[in-house]
Structure 1
Amino acid sequence: MQARERDVAGTQATSASLFRSVATTLAGKSLAIVGASERARWPSEIFRNLREFGYPGQIALVNPRQKEVFGQRCFPSLRDLPEPVDHALVIVPAPAVADVLTAAEERGVGSATVYASMLGDGDAPESKARGTWLEQFTAKSRLRVAGPNCMGAYSYRERLFGYPNTDLCRLAPGSVACIFQSGGLLQFWMKAAAERGLRYSYCITSGNEPDLGLADYLNFVVDDPHTRQIVLFVEGIRRPQAFMHAAGRALALGKPILAIKTGATVQSQAASQSHTGAIAGDYAAYLAMCERYGIVNHRSLDDLIETALAFEGGRSPKGPRIGFVTNSGATVDLLYDYAETEGAAIPDFTDETKAALLPMMQEGIAPKNPLDVGIPSTLEVAAKICETAARDPNIDMVAWASPMPRKGETWGDVAPLRQLLTKTDKPVVGFGRVIQQLGDDHLAAQEATGFPFLQGIEPTIRALDGLWFHAARRGRAPPTPPPAPASNLSPATLEATLARYGIALPKSQAVANAAEAVTAAERIGFPVAL
């Protein structure tokens, strides 16, 4: 066997041992809705969405209290189905879940999504007991279980819409995969990002994850040829070995992972534990993982949108250096301040570039980076200025400060902006100085130019820094995961788990007051951060 074949075989064997299949969950060719009802909102909305938006497979309806729902026969149990289905959408109260999953296993159903909460989440004894049963059931069952305590998923090309939100089903398929451990938050982020032009391949809520989890979904979308970038909302990483292996594969393939994680504070860690039962783990360990696997970490959901838009441009910078083109001296001042805060690189232009820029600028203003050209210019002149900045060997990315057209306005002929992209292979973005309410006119203008328009000076800087953070690490081969038992990324397993991947944690100690901080600092050794 050749070395390349051995590597591929080894990777396939590793993937088989680390991951659980989500294929029938996200791409099932036949479905059952358990708890089917015309009056209950979630099952009725999901059924209508599947029919209205073109799910091509058979849909069986199950409810022991109904003979017929939406004019279709209703079966009393999954056991009574004439044929097993690939996937069951289980929309029943928590006390009924055990019987439904047992019936699904007996009937040969491939997988099930459990929507109900109180199955391991929260502090109630009955929830804990159900969660324990579910963990034991999935450990020995061939039935794969998504959720519980989730809101389903969107599979755009398969037209499998198991999330109860009709508006988001209307979007055309795209290239962004989202995996959120929060069910409710997903729809609000998706809507806001879609209004800016993002479109999706898969959008998944993973819930409590006693069986199928973040790592399994991540592994699936890494392999999906339509997915070009992956967005994560993380509360806890239950199977860090599998997660790191999937993240390593994404990095090797050049697929960026953008993430935001809760648990940076003690209060947030406690909330995550209560919400989904997730152990948030050490935030420093998570950041070390991001550094190793090129995961672009974010501090806000808004920044997550801006960075995702920047990656939609499809270009990877060769360095961190940003060239800014504006027509405002105050914007230049802010760029200097924010760049220093964010650690962004804004080198000056070469003398040759300055000489080329001078004829296009207002008299009396010296060319420098960030560039204030003075009076507003036409699109043709703006494109020429950006092209000149992009040719500079000191510049790796170009950001053009320009508001989007107001409602009812257009830019007219945007051909110069489109041609700009043919004259450089460097990333180019437009950006607004402040957040602007956008509509269809803005999306049309963005699509016409061919490059993304970001909002806000600081978010733009962070988004471009994110492009370089990933570009500097992309293409690395993932490390071969050493044998290890599955475990949560918890304080007890943290150091040993990360050490197997060569990730060293800084020495740390939790303290309650200033005196303890002084003692801990002396023990750890200086310098220290508080």
Structure 2
Amino acid sequence: MSAAGPDAAALRTLTTPARLTRFFAPRIIALIGASESSAWARNVYQGLALTGSTDGIRVVNPSGRSFFGIPAAASIGDLDDAPDLAYLFVGPDRVETALREAAAVGVRNAVVLAAGFSEAGEAGLERQRRLAALAVELDMTVLGPNSLGFVRPGVAAPYGSGIRGPLLKGSLGLVLQSGSLTSALMPFALGRGIGCSLLAAVGNEAVVSSMDVFEYLIDDEDTRAVGLFLETLREPHRFMELAFRALERGCPVIVLKAGRSDAGKRAATAHTGAIASDDAVVDAAFRQAGVIRVDSLEEFVTTAGLMATQTRWPDGRRMAVVTSSGGGSNLIADCASEQGFDLTAMSPATAAQLRAALPPFASVQNPLDVTGAWMSSAGASVTKPEDNALALMAADSEYDLVVHVMTALPQDEPADRGGVEARIAGLAELMRDAPVPAFTLSLVSLPLGEYPRELLARTGIHLLGGIELGIGAIAHGVRWHERREPLLAAGRATAMRRPLVANPPAPAQEGVWSEHDARIWLGGFGVPFVPVELVGSASDAAAAADRLGFPAVVKVCQPGLAHKSDVGGVVLRLQT
């Protein structure tokens, strides 16, 4: 062991997927130092209550006071059964003692809530080194310090931030370097019917790191997509390796990375002691590994929720849109065009069928506004005009995907729910059987009530909330699908690094080299670069951009030209 703490190999033995499988499935949980006066302890109790696991709570407090009716033991050694997990509410100066006492009775898993470690200067950093060394000595898997814990719906939710239920079980795994974001993230996800397989707040990552949980989730059969909130990449090479493994499995990875600005980097350092990475390098690495990068919490949750549920992706960008709002049609057309979708015209046969079914004043075009004329018709119909139009446009060979804007559902269970539920069941069947992938969204991002949330979950419909968030999430998924096979074909070596050349030859030319020649020469020494292609025409450039993905940069490549921007030879942030 070095003065800097235990080596990575020693720590890795504590954080393997097998160890984390046991860590995230505790039956008996000891709350050490818990009291009803502590908001942290009350939150943990409420989280465990939401998963129905309060019978497994054991309380340790020298005061002997009961905790929500649970008698407290004076020490962990006084408990009748050995806990699977210890959650420490003690201050930083008492953490080491509490861990030793827990280990003495067979505890091998712990969550450390206390702050005052690597984010608190050199003294705190030294305290964190000692904590990591102690974990190796005790053979104990430790989440934290400065961690709120984890949420695993249906199993346990020892989490120090208030969680408003219910906890929806889903196929999205979430790893956060800032646990307090859950107070905003989880209610937003609940309101959109998005559940998770696991949410883990890693804190300062003294032992269990974000990459350890990432690896666990890639292997987890209940997880179909992984969302990461990162303030820094402490293990960049391992991240790239894991991201490629996820790509091979078909498990999309969505990242919200803080620290794009200098102010953001300073904030990240102050929060967990993280060293924020250069954002341009991070962005290039994400693209090279097939990672979806997002810019806001709302985009993070919306995109990750779709990626965890959608099983079909289009092989092109020709989009059909069906709605009953003229204004919505216009907004969707703008947003879809900005995201690179082609709102091509429908076939004459489809147009004829729609003209026969819609009012004569309806404009039969794409996007299609079926109008609200059906609302004045007498009688009831299981389907709505937009549902019938969806079936017609999805069957049109002119389209690769279809987007359906759903008429608002009742927030509360209606007295006569038969019509609503028959319509949603029919829509779900239509979407499943459609020749092309079908997506459903609402015009605005409003939270769903319990009744519509359960109805959509029961029928398997994932409703995207809001035009920009919804179309943006679809665009992220389409780009991920388009880039996956080329990245896999290029192989792991290309995604990870350039092969080394023992003695790269010196370039023949003198003076200012072309960027292409410089890249080849530096690549021989193992210097990694963002993906690039050398082309000789505008059409070749467009095709290369489609292969590499957007946004793209176009540069003049000419030996002797030192300042390309001075002659207009650089164009940035091309989206199409």
Taking structure 2 as the reference length, the TM-score comes to 0.74
Contact 2:323 2:367 in 1 (8 A): yes
| CA distance in structure 2 between the partners assigned to 1:142 and 1:130 by the alignment | 18
Contact 1:418 1:448 in 2 (8 A): no
For 2:385, the aligned partner's letter is V
| CA distance in structure 1 between the partners assigned to 2:230 and 2:299 by the alignment | 15
Contact 2:191 2:446 in 1 (8 A): no
Equivalent in the alignment of 1:397? 401
Given candidates 349, 354, 357, the residue that maps to 2:351 is 354
Residue by residue over 1:490-523, the C-alpha shift from the partner in whole angstroms, topping out at 9 and shown as x without a partner, is: xxxxxx99x97965389xxxxxxxxxxxx98769
Given candidates 189, 210, 216, the residue that maps to 1:193 is 189
Contact 1:327 1:374 in 2 (8 A): yes
Aligned residues: 488
Residue by residue over 1:151-203, the C-alpha shift from the partner in whole angstroms, topping out at 9 and shown as x without a partner, is: 1111223x222113575464253222221111111132112211221222211
Relative to structure 1, the CA distance from residue 52 to residue 206 in structure 2 (aligned partners, 3 Å threshold; closer, same or farther) is closer
| CA distance in structure 1 between the partners assigned to 2:159 and 2:319 by the alignment | 40
| CA distance in structure 1 between the partners assigned to 2:14 and 2:34 by the alignment | 36
1:349-498 aligned at under 5 Å gives the runs 349-377=346-374, 379-408=383-412, 412=420, 413-414=422-423, 415-424=425-434, 426-447=436-457, 450-474=460-484, 476=488, 479=492
Contact 1:19 1:242 in 2 (8 A): no
| CA distance in structure 2 between the partners assigned to 1:68 and 1:383 by the alignment | 57
For 2:227, the aligned partner's letter is V
2:342 matches 1:345: yes
Contact 2:192 2:465 in 1 (8 A): no
Relative to structure 1, the CA distance from residue 323 to residue 140 in structure 2 (aligned partners, 3 Å threshold; closer, same or farther) is farther
Equivalent in the alignment of 1:74? 73
Worse-matched range after superposition: 50-59 or 271-280: 50-59
| CA distance in structure 1 between the partners assigned to 2:351 and 2:478 by the alignment | 25
Contact 1:89 1:114 in 2 (8 A): yes
Contact 1:32 1:60 in 2 (8 A): yes
Equivalent in the alignment of 2:142? 145
| CA distance in structure 1 between the partners assigned to 2:37 and 2:207 by the alignment | 30
Contact 1:316 1:471 in 2 (8 A): no
Residue by residue over 1:289-311, the C-alpha shift from the partner in whole angstroms, topping out at 9 and shown as x without a partner, is: 33233322212212223324433
Residue by residue over 1:255-284, the C-alpha shift from the partner in whole angstroms, topping out at 9 and shown as x without a partner, is: 222221111111111111111112221222
Q: Which runs of 5+ in 2 are unaligned?
A: 1-11, 375-380, 498-521, 533-561
Contact 2:288 2:530 in 1 (8 A): no
Deviation at 1:16, TM superposition (A): 7.7
| CA distance in structure 2 between the partners assigned to 1:334 and 1:179 by the alignment | 34
Deviation at 1:331, TM superposition (A): 2.8
2:299 matches 1:303: yes
Relative to structure 1, the CA distance from residue 351 to residue 226 in structure 2 (aligned partners, 3 Å threshold; closer, same or farther) is same
Identity among equivalent pairs (%): 26
For 1:32, the aligned partner's letter is A
Relative to structure 1, the CA distance from residue 259 to residue 48 in structure 2 (aligned partners, 3 Å threshold; closer, same or farther) is closer
Q: Which has the larger radius of gyration?
A: 2
Indicate the SS of the match to 1:160.
coil
Relative to structure 1, the CA distance from residue 470 to residue 31 in structure 2 (aligned partners, 3 Å threshold; closer, same or farther) is same
2:176 matches 1:133: no
Worse-matched range after superposition: 254-263 or 265-274: 254-263
Equivalent in the alignment of 1:9? none
| CA distance in structure 1 between the partners assigned to 2:344 and 2:289 by the alignment | 28
Equivalent in the alignment of 2:210? 214
Deviation at 1:115, TM superposition (A): 0.6
Equivalent in the alignment of 1:511? none
Contact 1:24 1:87 in 2 (8 A): no
Indicate the SS of the match to 2:399.
coil
| CA distance in structure 1 between the partners assigned to 2:123 and 2:318 by the alignment | 56
| CA distance in structure 2 between the partners assigned to 1:289 and 1:301 by the alignment | 21
| CA distance in structure 1 between the partners assigned to 2:146 and 2:372 by the alignment | 55
Indicate the SS of the match to 2:160.
coil
| CA distance in structure 1 between the partners assigned to 2:199 and 2:88 by the alignment | 18
Worse-matched range after superposition: 279-288 or 136-145: 136-145
Relative to structure 1, the CA distance from residue 370 to residue 138 in structure 2 (aligned partners, 3 Å threshold; closer, same or farther) is same
Indicate the SS of the match to 2:570.
coil
For 1:121, the aligned partner's letter is E
Deviation at 1:318, TM superposition (A): 2.6
Deviation at 1:77, TM superposition (A): 5.1
Equivalent in the alignment of 2:530? 504
Equivalent in the alignment of 2:378? none
1:77-226 aligned at under 5 Å gives the runs 85-105=83-103, 108-122=106-120, 124-138=121-135, 142-157=139-154, 159-164=155-160, 167-168=163-164, 170-226=166-222
Equivalent in the alignment of 1:266? 262
Relative to structure 1, the CA distance from residue 66 to residue 437 in structure 2 (aligned partners, 3 Å threshold; closer, same or farther) is closer
| CA distance in structure 1 between the partners assigned to 2:14 and 2:26 by the alignment | 22
Relative to structure 1, the CA distance from residue 280 to residue 455 in structure 2 (aligned partners, 3 Å threshold; closer, same or farther) is same
| CA distance in structure 1 between the partners assigned to 2:161 and 2:92 by the alignment | 22
For 1:196, the aligned partner's letter is R
Indicate the SS of the match to 2:226.
strand
Relative to structure 1, the CA distance from residue 376 to residue 261 in structure 2 (aligned partners, 3 Å threshold; closer, same or farther) is farther
Relative to structure 1, the CA distance from residue 103 to residue 81 in structure 2 (aligned partners, 3 Å threshold; closer, same or farther) is same
Deviation at 1:26, TM superposition (A): 1.0
Deviation at 1:462, TM superposition (A): 0.4
Contact 2:323 2:386 in 1 (8 A): no
RMSD of Structure 2 on Structure 1 (CA): 3.6
Equivalent in the alignment of 2:548? none
| CA distance in structure 1 between the partners assigned to 2:219 and 2:349 by the alignment | 45
Deviation at 1:67, TM superposition (A): 7.4
Indicate the SS of the match to 2:397.
coil
For 2:366, the aligned partner's letter is N
| CA distance in structure 1 between the partners assigned to 2:65 and 2:408 by the alignment | 55
